[in-house]
Amino acid sequence: MKKIDAGFLGKVINVSCEEVYLDHDQVNMEKVQALSYDPYTFSYYVVSKKVGKAFKDGFKKK
């Protein structure tokens, strides 16, 4: 079986959200319980738990 690597780039045109998922006019990802699709394993994953701060926690791992 031949392995194929693929990536996708796109531009976000519009974002909308129901008010029930907002906290102080910002999206609360723990309330949204967004899904992520993995095309390699044909699986869905729930994306809802914060695991770190961008541009801060990564430096600790170096």
pLDDT (tens digit, 9 = 90+) per residue, 45-61? 888 778 888 777 767 66
- Domain assignment of residue 33, given as a range: 14-48
Residue 62 lies in a domain: no
Residue 59 lies in a domain: no
Residue 37 lies in a domain: yes
The confidence score (pLDDT) of residue 47 equals 82
The confidence score (pLDDT) of residue 24 equals 92
Residue 3 lies in a domain: no
Name the more confident of 39 and 7.
Answer: 39
Residue 2 lies in a domain: no
DSSP three-state, residue 44: strand
DSSP three-state, residue 61: helix
Residue 8 lies in a domain: no
Residue 29 lies in a domain: yes
Spatial neighbors of 49 by CB under 8 A, at least 6 apart, are 30
Residue 30 lies in a domain: yes
In degrees, rounded to 5, the angle at the alpha carbon of residue 30 between the alpha carbons of residues 11 and 50 is 80
Q: How far is CA 46 from the centre of its chain?
A: 9
CA atoms within 13 A on the CB side of 5: 0
Provide the domain count of the chain: 1
Residue range 9-47, pLDDT digits in tens: 788 898 888 999 999 988 888 888 888 888 889 999 888
pTM: 0.50
